[in-house]
Amino acid sequence: MMNIPFIITLVIVTFLLLLGIMFRMGKGADLISGYSLMSKEKKSLYDEKKLTTYSSYVSYSLIILFIVWYLFSRQGSYINIYGMGFFIIIYTCIVNVIIIKMSKKH
């Protein structure tokens, strides 16, 4: 019998790992929430390398969250999927705001 939670976690972790590697290489800035909607003039105020580097850290930290979530669920600890989803959404939004603020050129 296939372990569906493991497969789902593996797919998400693989996607986040590839995204993190792409960001770490300085590519994919247009995939970052908020940055892709800015005008060229506003984008020039940000250091794109810093922005993608910080975003790679977010991807890596989300990988850790998903692995911990999976390990807890394997031990019988029930973590509500809606609670975890809400936490991940809030975490990502807050971190995106911090990334945008930290990536401003001075």
Q: What is the pTM of this model?
A: 0.74
Per-residue confidence (pLDDT) for residue 10, from 0 to 100? 92
Q: Which two tokens stand for residue 49?
A: 């390398």
Euclidean distance between CA atoms 64 and 16, whole angstroms:
10
Q: Taking residues 56-68, what's their average pLDDT?
A: 86
Is residue 96 within 8 A of residue 32, CB to CB? The reply is: yes
Tokens 């609670």 identify what position?
83
* Three-state SS at 96: helix
Query: What share of the chain has pLDDT > 90, as a percent?
Result: 23
Per-residue confidence (pLDDT) for residue 20, from 0 to 100? 95
